[in-house]
Amino acid sequence: MMACLLEAPLRISVLSEVTATSRHYVDRLFDPDPQNVLQGVIDMKNAVIGNNKQKANLIVLGAVPRLLYLLQQSSSSLELRTECAVVLGSLAMGTENNIKSLVDCHIIPALLQGLLCSDLIFIEACLRCLRTVFISPVTPVQLLYTDPTVIPHLMSLLSRSRHTKEYITQIFAHCCKTPEHQTVLFNHSAIQNIAPLLISPSDKVRMQALKCFSVLAYENTQVSMTLVNVLVDGEQLSQVFVRMMQRDKPIEMQLTAAKCLTYMCRAGAIRTDDNCIILKTLPCLVRMCSKERLLEERVEGAETLAYLMEPDVELQRIASFTDHLVSMLADYFKYPSSVSAITDIKRLDHDLKHAHELRQAAFKLYASLGSNDEDIRKKITETENMMDRIVSGLSESSIKVRLAAVRCLHSLSRSVQQLRTSFHDHAVWKPLMKLLQNAPDEVLVMASSTLCNLLLEFSPSKEPILDSGVIELLCSLTQSDSPALRVNGIWALMNMAFQADQKVKVEIVRALGTEQLFRLLSDPDTNVLMKTLGLLRNLLSTRPHIDQIMSSHGKQIMQAVTLILEGEHSIEVKEQTLCILANIADGNTAKELIMTNDDMLQKIKYYMGHSNVKLQLAATFCISNLIWNEEDDSP
Amino acid sequence: MSGPSSGCGFLMSVVVHGDLALNEQEKDLNQRLRRLYPAVNEEETPLPRSWSPKDKFSYIGLSQNNLRVHYKGHGKTPKDAASVRATHPIPAACGVYYFEVKIISKGRDGYVKYMGIGLSAQGVNMNRLPGWDKHSYGYHGDDGHSFCSSGTGQPYGPTFTTGDVIGCCVNLINNTCFYTKNGHSLGIAFTDLPPNLYPTVGLQTPGEVVDANFGQHPFVFDIEDYMREWRTKIQAQIDRFPIGEREGEWQAMIQKMVASYLVHHSYCATAEVFAKSTDQAVHEELASIKNRQKIQKLVLSGRMGEAIETTQQLYPSLLELNPDLLFMLKVRQFIEMVNGTDSEVRCLGGRSPKSQDSYPGSPRLFNSPVHKASSSQTYQTGFDSNYCNGVSSSKGHTLAHSHKSCPRTMPSPELGVLNGSRGQQTNVGAEVEMEVDHFSNGVSESSSNGFLNGSSTHGIDLEECDGDMEVDSAQSKRQLCGGSQAAIERMIQFGRELQSMSEHLRRERGKNSANKKMLKDAFSLLAYSDPWISPVGYQLDSIRREPVCSTLNSAILETHNLPKQPPLALAVGQAAQCLSLMARTGSGSCAFASVDDYLH
């Protein structure tokens, strides 16, 4: 106790001592003699370098507004203004809190204003500080775009020196986060200005310029289309990127160049069968997934590769046999490894931090790999513990992992064979159902879409899912605001109703309610309408079912059919509706609903003479069912 | 080194064929192989260039320069399998080795398309597909499995068929192998491979045809990019190699090596400055260094007579104890006489007035002015002026030195320019005599030696400069012994002396084929009207003085119990030797660690 009592005042005195020296630095900024002020700023600079405590002290003591004032005063000497920018840059190098304080003091507009000065040294100091502020995650990037004159001015400064090149490209690379940002930069000739920097003698400049192109081209057709036609020193840009992917180049450069080409390819600017994609970008990204790479690089590599080959089955096939990619990805699930837990606490921490990212990246890549080819899906499901990993991924705490796992499951659920075997063996429907209970929309879309496949007639999971009370859940999905969820809900019901028991059908109709059914039939989304008609068609199959449902809901259904046949709908919709009519005609008692409806018979007649063959056929099918029934009834 | 000779062989065989296209292909092949595998010494370990007509099963037919393989057996059962190996095993010095096989035809329908591409050791049964036996490895087209010395395969890659190009890459650094299909890497297939494997292909279906590409054509897979990665890895390993535990130890060792190198080659001024700035002791007397330097200069300027005299003077017993060395020097002297550069014929030819002034052709010269040296007065003046020169030029000296790429010429011409007055040259000549005496007297009180350096080399250097120029002009005229009849006579007389010396040596010490050849080659010069363009004319090249010079230098150092090779050269030699040893013992990383990469 005594010791504590003695220690406490001691600490305070040390602290006050520190604050006193810091106070002294700040006081000197207010000296009437400009020469003393300059010396004060220089001393401050030397005092804060590498000293986070000192930085925090000075910020608390209000050095920042004064430094900014001095920096902005045109009466200050250039030397003083430059030193102020340097000190501010040094303060920005500290903690995130420092950056927040600087941004709160409006450092960004002040420094941007400073760029209008003609002195290069001062400009460079301002840019260095701006760079440090902008690359911090706590700085709102929008601040770069508030004043529309800033971007063109930065473009004009770009080629001034090695440092302006480096800092400005670094700022752009970090502050281009939305399509709007891309457009602003593009409109101010970012491509023409930055392209020559790709062959700069400075490694840093080359790297930052490359990063700019990767953020500019991401999901941007306009930029991508422009990029393919750019020449750098007589060479096509894509070839410059290919050279940057050479295996002796720094990994960061290889990876970023591969991203650029990936984005250009996805935007349609480069064909997927171009050698620079098939023989260079794809193998480069596969290499990034290897065990030799850092965890961060493996995450980015896998995500980029997944994105590159998503729409192209040939790329998926090539990737599936390149460098054992499928089994290489299995390693992504082994973090934190049991070894790291014992040996190295630092590594454990590092592994833990990246474990989720690794898992979700692997799931994404598996999803992309298996989205088209049955053989690849088989290869994936045969990977060690694959289904178990997906099952546990579906219930992970990280939303990103859950989403990726369900994407992967969805991709694999397109395989009839897998639905029949591994999906059932591992009872994937259980975690999937759980996931559907309470999840954000993007997860729900994927999960319900997967559920659609699991409810297909030949899926052995269909029965247990039915028993788990899925119908209510699917009906509630059909009331969602999201068209994708409505489609999936009704789609799943449609699949469920296919060749189902009377009991199930009745339950569907009951749970959905005719009101909701009619609402869905007038849904603005054609997909929803089509699947709802499909559901009706599946409900109205086999004679007893038809008669049973029509006896209880005949009136409403006939109304709906009339409505659709009279409305402005596509051929497909009308065809599907006529098919429903044909099914109704197949019923024993149900057919009377048509036979007694003159208007309906007229409509069928009309469609028999329709110019579209599909509609003609469907209408004829209707008539045939009506007649066949009659024959059957009169022995 | 091996490239050109093997290239020659190819060109000759091409001439026999008289096929121009083939000629081009061979050229391409040689060029590509040299670029891919620069570390391979093909005299020791030739690279595979085709399939071996001798090392194959009888069901295998070869065509198209032994690059195309076709199957001509029944193909009914696995007993009908047949393989062929390449002409040579893969040398370890490749580091990374690669070849490709293109499937021209998958064979007749109705058969399972057994086809294996891979590697096997010498002696492995050829009536089998690669991979089925011990020391045999293969990737099979019918099922895409890899076979690692076993009859049962492991799932490995996709299947392959007509039109596909399958590549096989052996990494001799980590002893692994991966395959490629149409330019896409399929990942590691085998690990822990044994050394000396041959590219191998095996077929088992009638009508199967495959073509090999051992470098005749560009590869579909970018193997050079893969090699770049490994080169970077190996070089990073070297760069990061942990050195010396204690701080500064490594640096001190390097400084020592540099200093000893400078001393060895008698760069006295540089050596001294270097030693001083790195705080080291020089282990040889400066005077001694300078003596060696002087002798080396004489040898390198082709003035062998003087070099021999000086050597005898300064190291009296050296040549007596080394008659073979003396003989070599004399043979060189004879060659220099033919060249017209040796001082004995130069004075007769009347083409070197300056050296005539300083060295009036008489070897006695060095002995005569002994008493003069004791005259401190003359000495002092000479010394003073040189001292001044030395001081004023010492900076220029080292500076100039660093510009020189060729270590044999000291930068004395600059010194002469610094002196400014041409008239001084004769003075300098006189001083040389004195200093030579000074050294021959064995006075070793050269305390302020750094500056003596400048002065001692001074006279000789100036003349050497002149001498070199005259050599050039003499060569452009190219007259025997510089064109003087007297000189020719002297040369012939000298030749006779040399002949009798040779006979004497043989009687005394028995036959020595090296000596015999040396003499024969030298005398052969006289068989041609223009020795310079004769087949033996290379002997006249001044570059031939260098081995003589270094042998003599080493011999002198040995008598002083100093290493006959500087540690630096020794280390470089050892490193190079180490690399070739690695190549022989199968360590592939030698491919990406050329010593030359580290010598700039």
Indicate whether A2 pLDDT > 80.
Answer: no
Interchain proximity B157–A321, CB inside 8 Å: yes
**A283, closest residue in chain B (CA to CA):** B184
Give the pLDDT mean for B28-39.
93
Let me know: does A413 contact A419? Beta carbons within 8 Å: yes
Of A246, A283, A328, the CB nearest to B184: A283
Question: What would the DSSP string read from start to end of A549-573?
Answer: HHHHHHHHHHHHHHHHHHS---HHH
Matching residue, tokens 């009908």: B80
Instruction: Classify B52 as helix, strand or coil.
Output: strand
Is some CB atom of chain A closer than 8 A to the CB atom of B183?
A: yes
Q: Does B176 touch chain A (CB under 8 A)?
A: no
| Cβ–Cβ gap A279/B228 under 8 Å | no
- For range B51-73, the mean pLDDT: 95
Triad A623, A624, A628: Cα angle to 5°: 120
Interface touch A247/B157, C-beta < 8 Å: no
Among chain A residues, the shortest Cα distance to B231 is held by: A248
Q: Tell me, what amino acid is at A160?
A: R
The letter for the amino acid at A560 is A
The neighbour count for residue B459, using CB atoms within 10 Å, is 28
Helix, strand, or coil (residue B399): helix
Residue A281: closest C-alpha in chain B: B184
Tokens 């001095």 correspond to A70
pLDDT of residue B400: 37
CA distance B543 to B408: 10
Q: Averaged over A36-62, what is the pLDDT?
A: 91
Extended beta strands in B208-323, E state: 208-213
Find out whether B520 and B511 touch, Cβ atoms under 8 Å.
no
The set of residues, in sequence order, having a beta carbon less than 8 Å from that of B305 and lying 6+ positions away, is: B333, B342, B343, B344, B363
Residues 6+ apart with CB under 8 A from A508: A471, A493, A496, A497, A500, A535, A539
CA distances (Å), origin B498, targets B315, B330, B335, B503, B514? 22, 7, 11, 9, 15
How many Cβ atoms from other residues are within 10 Å of residue A354's Cβ?
A: 19
Q: Which two tokens stand for residue A406?
A: 């369900």
Within 10 angstroms of residue B280's Cβ, the number of other Cβ atoms is 16
Measuring CA to CA, which residue among A493, A422, A502, A506 is closest to residue A455? Answer: A493
Which of A1-15, A214-228, A346-360, B296-310 has the highest average model confidence (pLDDT)? A214-228
| B181–A324 CB contact, under 8 Å | no
Query: Quick check: A406 and A434 in contact, CB under 8 A?
Result: no
Most distant pair of Cα atoms in chain A: their distance: 120
Q: Per-residue pLDDT averaged across A522-532, rounded?
A: 88
Which of A246, A318, A323 lies closest to B225 in CB terms? Answer: A246
Q: Is the pLDDT of residue A494 over 70?
A: yes
Those residues whose C-beta lies under 8 Å from the C-beta of residue A24, and which sit 6 or more positions away, are none
Mutation for B interface: A279, A284, A289, most B CBs within 10 A:
A279
Whether B186 and A318 lie within 8 Å, measured CB to CB: no
Distances in whole angstroms, Cα of residue B471 to Cα of each of A320, B336, B339, B481: 71, 10, 8, 11
In 3D space, the residue among B97, B131, B60 whose CA is nearest the CA of residue B213 turns out to be B97
Tokens coding A374: 């049955």
Helices within A438-586 (DSSP H only)? 441-454, 462-467, 470-477, 483-497, 502-512, 514-521, 526-539, 543-566, 571-586
Give me the phi and psi of B98, to 5 degrees please: -145, 140
Q: Are A279 and B183 in contact (CB < 8 Å)?
A: yes
Report CA-CA distances (Å) from A504 to A590, B74, B356, B408: 20, 64, 124, 102
Question: Could you tell me if B167 lies within 8 Å of chain A, comparing CB atoms?
Answer: no
Residues of A with CB under 8 A from a CB of B: 246-248, 279, 283, 318, 321-324, 328
Task: Reply yes or no: is the peptide bond before residue A336 cis, omega within 30 of 0.
Answer: yes
Asked if B224 is an interface residue toward chain A (Cβ–Cβ < 8 A), one would say no
Q: Which of B184, B187, B232 sits opposite A318 (nearest CB)?
A: B184
Can you name the residues that pair with B208 across neighbouring β-strands? B106
* Chain A residues close to B183, C-beta within 8 Å: 279
A421-435, A538-552, B70-84, B382-396, range with the lowest pLDDT: B382-396
Nearest-Cα distance to chain B for A251, in Å, is: 11
Encode pLDDT of A131-177 as tens digits. 999 999 999 999 999 999 999 999 999 999 999 999 999 999 999 99
- For B563, the enclosing helix (H) or strand (E) is none
Question: Measured in whole angstroms, how far is the alpha carbon of residue A17 from the centre of its chain?
Answer: 51
Q: Which of A257-261, A493-497, B486-490 has the highest mean pLDDT?
A: A257-261
Cβ proximity of B57 and B84 under 8 Å:
yes
- CA–CA separation, B160 and B181 (whole Å): 8
Of B158, B187, B222, the CB nearest to A323: B187
Which one of B157, B187, B232 has the shortest CB-CB distance to A248? B232
pTM across the whole model: 0.75
What's the CA gap between B233 and A447, in Å, rounded? 45
3-state helix, strand, coil in chain B (%, to 5): 55, 15, 30
Residue B244 has pLDDT above 80, yes or no: no
Distance from CA of B557 to the nearest CA of A (A): 46
CA A432 to chain centre: 21
Quote the tokens at residue B205. 């279906």
- B561: pLDDT confidence band, cut at 50, 70 and 90? confident
Averaged pLDDT score across all residues of chain A: 88
Enumerate the residues of chain B whose CB falls inside 8 A of the CB of residue A380. Answer: none
Rounded to an integer, what distance in angstroms lies between the CA atom of residue A403 and that of residue A409? 10
The residue among B164, B184, B186, B592 with the most chain A CBs within 10 A of its CB, best to mutate, is B184
Query: Of all helices (H) and strands (E), which one includes residue A202?
Result: none
Helix (H, G, I), strand (E, B) or coil at A386: helix
Q: For residue A415, what is the DSSP state?
A: -
SS3 of B83, please? strand
pLDDT digits (tens, 9 = 90+) for B538-556: 898 888 898 899 889 888 8
**CA distance linking residue A44 with residue A58, whole number of Å:** 9
Q: If DSSP codes are grouped into helix, strand and coil, which group holds residue B548?
A: helix
CA distance B425 to B358: 10
CB B3 within 8 A of CB B34: yes
pLDDT, tens digit, for every residue of A531-588? 998 988 888 888 888 888 888 888 888 888 888 888 888 888 888 888 888 888 888 7
CA distance B346 to chain A (A): 56
- The yes-or-no verdict on residue B6 having pLDDT over 80 is no
Q: With contacts defined as CB-CB under 8 Å, which chain B residues touch A318?
A: 184
CB interface of B with A, residues 470-489, below 8 Å: none
Q: Which residues of chain B lie closer than 8 angstroms to A322, CB-CB?
A: 184-187
Q: Which two tokens stand for residue A482?
A: 């999201």
Task: Please give the residue that has the higher pLDDT: either A20 or A62.
Answer: A62
Angstrom distance (rounded) from CA B498 to CA B501: 5
Q: Which domains does chain A have, with CATH numbers?
A: 552-628 (1.25.10)
pLDDT band (50, 70, 90) for residue B153:
very high
- Nearest residue in chain B measured CA to CA from A246: B225
Alpha carbon distances (Å) from B460 to A148, A330, A447, B291, B301 = 76, 76, 94, 12, 10
**Which of A246, A248, A323 is facing B185, going by the closest CB pair?**
A323
Which residues in A lie closer than 8 A to residue B171 (C-beta atoms)?
none
Residues of A within 8 A of B222 (CB-CB) are: 279
SS (H, E, C) B107-151: CCCCCCCCEEEEEECCCCCCCCCCCCCCCEEEEECCCCEEEECCC
Confidence of residue B374 (pLDDT cuts 50, 70, 90): very low
Q: What is the pLDDT of residue B466?
A: 39
Contact B183 A246 (CB under 8 A): no
Bridge partner residues of B211 (DSSP): B68, B102
Minimal CA separation from B8 to chain A, in Å: 34
Q: How far apart are CA B363 and CA B313, in angstroms?
A: 10
Q: For chain A, what percentages of helix, strand and coil (3-state, to nearest 5) are there?
A: 75, 0, 25
Closest alpha carbon within chain B to A286 = B185
Of B207, B219, B216, the C-alpha closest to B103 is B207
Q: Quick one: B240 exposed, middle or buried, by C-beta within 10 A (0-12, 13-18, 19+)?
A: exposed
Is B143 an 8 Å CB contact of chain A? no
- pLDDT, residue A623, reads 84
Please report the domains of chain B, with CATH numbers, ordered by start residue.
19-237 (2.60.120.920)
**B145 interfaces chain A, CB cutoff of 8 Å:** no
Residues of chain B contacting residue A279, judged by C-beta atoms under 8 Å apart: 183-184, 222
pLDDT score at A473: 85
Is B184 near chain A, with CB under 8 Å? yes
CB A414 within 8 A of CB A369: no
Of B460 and B318, more confident: B318
Average pLDDT over residues B174-203: 96
Q: What is the pLDDT of residue B265?
A: 83
ipTM of the complex: 0.82
Query: Is B184 close to A248, i.e. CB distance below 8 A?
Result: no
- Asked if pLDDT for residue A220 goes beyond 90, the answer is yes
Report the C-alpha gap between A223 and A221 in whole angstroms.
6
Chain A neighbours among B 492-521 (CB < 8 Å)? none
Alpha carbon of residue B237 to chain centroid: 25
B77-98 exposure pattern, b = at least 16 Cβ within 10 A, e = fewer: eeebbbbbbbbbbbbbbbbbbb
Tell me the pLDDT tens digit for each residue of A264-283: 999 999 999 999 999 999 99
Is the alpha carbon torsion for A210, A214, A215, A220 positive or negative? positive
